[in-house]
Amino acid sequence: MSRRVSARKRRSREDFPLREQLKIEEGVFENRTMMFIGKLFTRKVVSRMRFIIGKGKEADVYLAEPGDKVKHGKVALKIFRLETSSFSNRMDYMVGDPRFNGIRNSITEIVGAWCKKEFGNLKIAKEAGVSAPAPYSFAGNVLAVEFLGEGDEPARALKDVGTGNPDATLDSILDDIRSLYRNNLVHSDISEYNILMKGDMPYLIDFGQAVAATHPKAGDFLRRDVTNILGYFSKVYGIDRDLEGEIARIVRG
């Protein structure tokens, strides 16, 4: 006679596809992260995990196949680390942001709020017409966004591939910075490392640290963004733009 599996031991509908899809990753994701990824399966945002496509100081990015809720293209899952997180170094972007009000001194809560913040910032960016990955969903420390690339090959950073039309690329980046500012947002971490090139089009990524234009340090962050990108294009392509003039164009429209 066959034995019934108790409800306590039976694998959940969320757990089953993850364990099947992530056999080679067994032990990499701790239980909370597995649970949050499972929620994205249940929401039909993703249907299958593929492989890692990027590693950073605070997060890893995985390629995933879309679920029924995603109309086209693949999905990139940005999974923020919980155990080895360096979010204590990000307080400048949290203090003064009402989205972090009431967050206890818990890395799980801080990372969860940061993930939610990046999702919200990406929504603002897309509504502003900025070239950035579309946000699909988030759960805990896992953020699902539009995959930028061709086939399974992710788009590469500006620092690695450069651009064949530097003047147009720089203009596009500065236009996006201005569009963000007009919609009350400052990216706060723009550089050749946080810009992906999809064909000839630059896409801004990594919006977790973006702050409202009313943030106490927004002016400093905006100046740093413009200084960084002008410095890169001056050094690599010999394009010299007036820093104060570009900042004034962004702020005054």
Task: List the catalytic residues.
Answer: 189, 206
Beta carbons within 10 angstroms of residue 198's beta carbon: 15
Q: Judging by beta carbons within 10 Å of its beta carbon (0-12, 13-18, 19+), is residue 248 exposed, middle or buried?
A: exposed
> Alpha-carbon distance 166 to 195, whole Å?
13
CB 147 within 8 A of CB 63: yes
**Residue 149: φ, ψ to 5°:** 165, -175
- Please give the single-letter amino acid code of residue 139: A
- Name the pairing type of β-strands 195-198 and 201-204: antiparallel
End-to-end CA distance of the chain: 76
Closest CA to 205 of 136, 131, 154: 131
